[in-house]
Amino acid sequence: MSQILLQVKCPHCEGTNVKKNGIKANGTQNFSCHPCHKQFQFAYQYKGADPRIKRQVRCMTFNGSGIRDIHRVLGVSIAGILMILRLWFKTLEEPVVQGHFKRVQIDEMWTFVKHRKQGKRWLWYAYDPDSGKILAFHIGKRNDSACKSLMKKLSHLQIDSYRTDDWKSYKKHIPPEKHIIAKAKTTHIERRNRDFRTHLKRLCRETVCFSKKDDMHYGIIKAYIFLRNKFGSLVKAEHTF
């Protein structure tokens, strides 16, 4: 009789210091990991429960794959993928920043949910070119109330100046002595800012296949901003997926 030994690795931290930890109700062996204290099973009966699969779903999402691509490649149901992403989005927060900012750039970007024309959603965001961080964002219409909502999210910060395009709502909600209006968008885009805009635009375009529902649209933009603020770029964030 020959025996095959399989090394059991923790799917959360890839550690091998693991021990058996009882049998699950469905009859499968449960393990616990010594270094990270998490529990796992060697073979998941439901793929979407496997932390490795969850990681791949997140990773593929930010590498331009739509939900159907992920479904085909990983074999997880569409409902399962949505669930994985929704639960993940819930753990991420909108930007939390404090302090003093010399110059903040505000912009509004056109995105959509489900329908290109009827489903327009404007992404409003405030960006600090000195730290490279997004200070706040809001998704809504291109109107005064959306502008107001964004400004409200900045109201606890000390901001010396705001740069915007010449969209009329800004004049109503930004004190004139702090407001710098750039006529054409391209003239006030600084180099460092350009990467961010390009990336976000691409993100909004590439993930439209996800954005059939507003909560997913919001979630994916929130996740992108969270990761970018925290790690500087998506490449640097990938290990956390």
Give contact residues for Zn ion (rule: CB under 5 A). 10, 12-13, 15, 33, 36
Question: Could you give the 3-state DSSP secondary structure of residue 99?
Answer: coil
Per-residue burial over 112-147, b if 16 or more Cβ lie within 10 Å, else e, is bbeeeeeeebbbbbbbbbeeebbbbbbbbebeeebb
Q: What is the DSSP letter of 34?
A: T
Q: How far is the CB of 34 from Zn ion (least distance, A)?
A: 8
The DSSP-derived string for 62-80 is TTT--HHHHHHHH---HHH
Q: What is the DSSP letter of 176?
A: G
Q: How far is the CB of 31 from Zn ion (least distance, A)?
A: 9
Nearer to Zn ion, 39 or 161 (CB): 39
Encoded tokens for 57: 């779903």
- Using CA atoms of 192, 194, 195, 196 in order, give the dihedral in degrees to the nearest 10: 90
With contact defined as beta carbons under 8 Å apart, do 57 and 38 qualify?
Answer: no
Q: How far is the CB of 52 from Zn ion (least distance, A)?
A: 12
Nearer to Zn ion, 33 or 174 (CB): 33
CA distance 172 to 221: 26
Nearer to Zn ion, 51 or 132 (CB): 51
Q: How far is the CB of 185 from Zn ion (least distance, A)?
A: 47
Q: How many CB atoms lie within 10 A of CB 172?
A: 10
Nearer to Zn ion, 15 or 66 (CB): 15
Q: How far is the CB of 152 from Zn ion (least distance, A)?
A: 42
With contact defined as beta carbons under 8 Å apart, do 42 and 29 qualify?
Answer: yes
Q: In 35-119, at which residue ranges do the beta strands (DSSP E only) sit?
A: 39-41, 100-112
Q: How far is the CB of 4 from Zn ion (least distance, A)?
A: 23
CA distance 95 to 117: 29
Q: How far is the CB of 38 from Zn ion (least distance, A)?
A: 5
Nearer to Zn ion, 13 or 208 (CB): 13
Q: What is the DSSP letter of 83?
A: H
Nearer to Zn ion, 33 or 84 (CB): 33
Nearer to Zn ion, 33 or 225 (CB): 33
